[in-house]
Amino acid sequence: MPRNTVIKTRLRNGLTVVLKSVHTAPVASFWVWYRVGSRHERTGRTGSSHWVEHMQFKGTAAFPADSVERAVSRVGGMWNAMTWIDWTAYFETMPADQIDLALQLEADRMVNSRYTKKDVQSERTVIISERQGSENQPTFLLSEEVQAAAFRVHPYHHEVLGDQVDIETMTRADLYAHYRAHYVPNNAIVVAVGDFKTTPMLKRIRALFGAVPKRDDPGLFVRPEPNQRGERRVHLEGEGQTAYLQAAYHAPAATDPDFFPMIVLDSILAGASSFNLFGGGISNKTSRLYRALVLTELAAGFSGNLAATVDPYLYSITCAVRADSALQKVEAALDEEMDRAMATPPAEEELAKAKKQARAMFAYSAESVSNLGFWYGFAEILDEYTWFTTYLDRLDAVTAADVQRVAQLVLTAANRTVGHYIPNDG
Amino acid sequence: MHSLPGPHDITRHTLPNGITVLARENPNSPAVVVDASIHAGSIYEGRSHAGLANFTAAMLMRGTRDASFDQIHERIESVGASLGSSCGVHTGGFGGKALAEDLDMLLATAADIVRNPTFPADHIERLRGETLTGLAMRAHNTRAMAALTFYEALFGGDHPYGYSNDGYPDTVAAITRTELKQYQRKHYGPAEMIVVIVGSVSTQAAVKLVEKHFGDWSNARQPARAPAPTGRALNGSENRRVQIPGKTQTDIVLGFFGPRRSDPDFQAVRVANSILGVFGMYGRLGQNVRKKRGMAYYSFSRADGSFGPGTWRLIAGVNPAKVDAAIATMLAEIDRLATRLVTPTELADSKSLILGRLPLQLETNEGVAGTLAAIELHSLELDYLQRLPDQINSLTRADIRGAAARLLDSKKHVLAVAGPE
């Protein structure tokens, strides 16, 4: 993929625009990213970013909810949105000749969403239902507790969905204020990828988004997490027959030079994974933890999760304990692998494998304009789109010594929170 | 340059041993996708051996005459490729992807696992333990239990579409190494096998590679293809509840027999289902269960059809206190669809969605490969996508009501509910 074809500019109102033409299929993907996520929420209003995302589908005067939904679907388009700790993103992927609708819709709902009391009330029960569905999963309950124990001060402390009590008590005014404060052009990035010419696309974006007034920069809500001084442990009891273990280590932020060695470390320990929300991972049956946990018949399965985030977040390993095994055995085997990663640098073959896997997964993800749209916007949230375009080069530069050094920094017991889910029917 | 796959760019070639290759080149992608089907699905195992076909498929990658588990996976993973073996009711097979330069290796490995698996005893026990843990998780998963219970109730627990092809704790515990070996020897072979290759490889090169790795494969034991299963008449409604104390949400599946893929009204059912639970934010169900009443986080419908009768399902996850209200709304929507004409706008909207979505579905190599595999498996023509617009556009409001009335009757439904009470 040529690297010189990305166009990036900033409009006078502060809106960042990233464009890339891709002419392989008659489709286009349009994204708007806002620098707002659960980390911007104060106590009592947790979950407001996610709820605001839901409300953004409730319509404006120009685009009532039903009519937009219909307009997007009628042409075969797909649209959705997602909220995470650092950001909220909206996208439409459409037949290329229909993409203008996405621009109109997104420019309009950046300022004109209605937030009627009735819609707020009906969405409250939908979100409670979404939370109850998540609570049906033991791994959700466990992650939520581990995350809360790992962050005492930093607002990464709470779940994106928010606490039940806040979902029950937040008002229309709370949600609308959150929307008005954060949905401003100087806090947003628009990305278009697909089968279009960039000059008319930029002109159209200027025409539609350029008129949205700049407002106060909401800024980041920053309360750095103090260094952890010793292992934290969480015990959770719940229904089911299966026990789960989660170990979560404070890990470098995406812009930290240590982040790329961390990607290689994750790949060696838990298998290659993609940050892309649309999947594209490969199997991990030759990873160190598969050999140590699954081939030894201690765990039925496991996953490693390294998140690329604005502030330092967590690197976590989650294991489902086999019915004929025990939590303590899984934890001991995990500890042994973490000790090994700290004690010895990885073999050159392991390093080479991690790099080739990343190259292949990049090639796969470039097949889809939605994937590319995700990547450019995500990289802009973290840093600049070049974070994505230079990703493979920076990964290539990682040495075995880098990996060991970062392992020694991250994988210590004092830097982690360990969670146990103990089933009542086990 | 942007035409949909069709006779002009799909190569279809049948080898002397019965394998049909479908290939389409995509010069824009550096990668290749492979998708292969073999008639080795769970329909050949029987309820008493539920899980055998799946267990067999999962064991294929655990060791062959020429390569160990580690060697197989090292080959695949070290180049960032993927390869997996799996199985459905009718067919099993393998699927994978790789950078173009690794396609030969991918097909060589795929041929090795389906032709020469050795079923190492230690891996059988390891996999059995993982599967049993997975089944224990399933027993505590409301969504999975509602689905499982629905299929058992609709088709009957012994029907190949009715029981779970993941198996049950007792059947999985009883599967022996001999049964696994015999299942592979009998059912894995080239007769009526389909191999689809899509990506940055010429169609001639794709056919040659399949010939190279599978051309000399034969299996005299392979039985004739199983006849398509039949359904039954529902005399009334059947309700089943699965209690999983401690859960916070209840999952509902309410449904009926669906169309066969070969039924003349298959596309009419597709459009009717789009109106019911797909279009926009999940069609009429999305409007009335989620949006207007705020009863659920999700609520949608699915109509599937294979060789035998498919299913038409209405699905929702709701607060335990709202189960009855959600079911009442679903039943009302069923009556409405089966007895009243949809509006001209609804019909036009869903037709437009189905046809407009094609470029998105066919953007990636995987999307194209899946479509080509379905075309071949169900004996559709290579110009299926070219003819689809006429088929869809000719449907009338009466066709939609007719298809719904044929399959949906709110007084003869199967309901499965899994939740805390």
The domain limits of chain A are: 7-209, 232-423
pLDDT digits (tens, 9 = 90+) for B306-337: 999 999 999 999 999 999 999 999 999 999 99
Please list the residues that pair with A317 across neighbouring strands.
Answer: A247, A304
Cβ distance of B365 and A367 shorter than 8 Å: yes
Closest to B309 (Cα-Cα) out of B93, B86, B156:
B156
CB pairs A-B closer than 8 Å: 194
Dump pLDDT digits (tens) for A116-137: 999 999 999 999 999 999 999 9
Q: B151 near B95, Cβ under 8 Å?
A: no
Burial classification of residue B409, based on how many CB atoms lie within 10 Å of its CB (0-12 exposed, 13-18 middle, 19 or more buried) = middle
Residue B295 scores a pLDDT above 80: no
**Residue A257 burial class via C-beta count within 10 angstroms: exposed 0-12, middle 13-18, buried 19 and up:** exposed
Query: A95: distance to nearest CA of chain B, Å?
Result: 7
Q: How far is CA B47 from CA A226, A375, B337, in A?
A: 58, 46, 35
Q: CB–CB of B246 and A353 under 8 A?
A: no
Residue where the block lists tokens 């599937």: B304
B-chain CB neighbours of A364 within 8 Å are: 31, 97
Residues of chain A positioned with their CB less than 8 A from the CB of B318? 129
Give contacts of A 41-60 with B, CB under 8 A. Answer: 57
What is the share, in percent, of chain B residues with pLDDT greater than 70? 99
Strand B20-25 with B194-199, pairing: parallel
**Which ranges of B78-191 would DSSP assign to H, the alpha helix?**
103-115, 121-139, 142-155, 169-174, 177-187
CA distance B256 to A115: 38
- Domain B11-214 is classified in which CATH homologous superfamily? Metalloenzyme, LuxS/M16 peptidase-like (3.30.830.10)
pLDDT of B291 > 90? The answer is: no
pTM summary value = 0.94
What CATH class is the domain B238-419? alpha beta
Taking contacts as CB-CB distances below 8 angstroms, the residues of chain B near A133 are 248-249, 297-298, 317
Q: What is the pLDDT of residue A305?
A: 94
Task: Give me Rg for the CA atoms of chain B.
Answer: 23
Give the model confidence (pLDDT) of A256-289 as tens digits.
Answer: 999 999 999 999 999 988 766 555 678 899 999 9
Short-list A198, A191, A190, CA closest to A21: A198
Question: Which residue in the set B98, B292, B319 is minimally distant from A132, CB to CB?
Answer: B319
Structure tokens at B398: 């009466």
| Residues forming beta bridges with residue B417, ordered by sequence position | B241, B252
Q: A186 to chain B nearest CA, in Å? A: 30
A64/B contact by beta carbon, under 8 A:
no
- Interchain pair B364, A301: CB under 8 A: no
For residue B123, the chain A residue with the least C-alpha distance is A295
Is the Cβ–Cβ distance between A234 and A418 less than 8 Å?
Answer: yes
**CA of residue A248 relative to chain centroid, distance:** 16
Backbone angles phi, psi at A251, to 5 degrees: -130, 160
The pLDDT value recorded for residue B53 is 98
CA distances from A330 to A302, A325, A335 (A): 11, 8, 9
Burial class (CB in 10 A: 0-12, 13-18, 19+), B220: exposed
Rounded CA separation B391/B354 (Å) = 11
Architecture (CATH level 2) of domain A232-423:
2-Layer Sandwich (3.30)
**Domain limits, chain B:** 11-214, 238-419
Phi and psi dihedrals of A15, rounded to 5?
-70, 130
* Per-residue DSSP letter, A414: G
Residue A1 is predicted with a pLDDT of 44
Q: Give B392 to chain A, closest Cα distance, Å.
A: 14
Q: How many Å lie between the alpha carbon of B250 and the closest alpha carbon of chain A? A: 8
Q: What is the pLDDT of residue A182?
A: 98
pLDDT given at position A67: 86
pLDDT one digit per residue (tens) for chain A, 426 residues: 444 589 999 999 999 999 999 998 999 999 999 999 999 999 999 999 999 999 999 999 999 988 888 999 999 999 999 999 999 999 999 999 999 999 999 999 999 999 999 999 999 999 999 999 999 999 999 999 999 999 999 999 999 999 999 999 999 999 999 999 999 999 999 999 999 999 999 999 999 999 999 999 988 888 999 999 999 999 999 999 999 999 999 999 999 999 999 999 999 999 988 766 555 678 899 999 999 999 999 999 999 999 999 999 999 999 999 999 999 999 999 999 999 999 999 999 999 999 999 888 888 888 899 999 999 999 999 999 999 999 999 999 999 999 999 999 999 999 999 999 999 987
Q: Which of B71, B281, B290 to substitute to test the interface with A, most A CBs within 10 Å?
A: B281
Tell me the two tokens of residue A42: 């104060």
Picking from B99, B247, B300, B392 by the largest number of A CB atoms within 10 A of its own CB, the best residue to mutate is B247
Cα(A106)–Cα(A31) distance, integer angstroms: 8
The CATH architecture that domain A7-209 belongs to is: 2-Layer Sandwich (3.30)
Residue type, B109: T
Question: B114 near B210, Cβ under 8 Å?
Answer: no
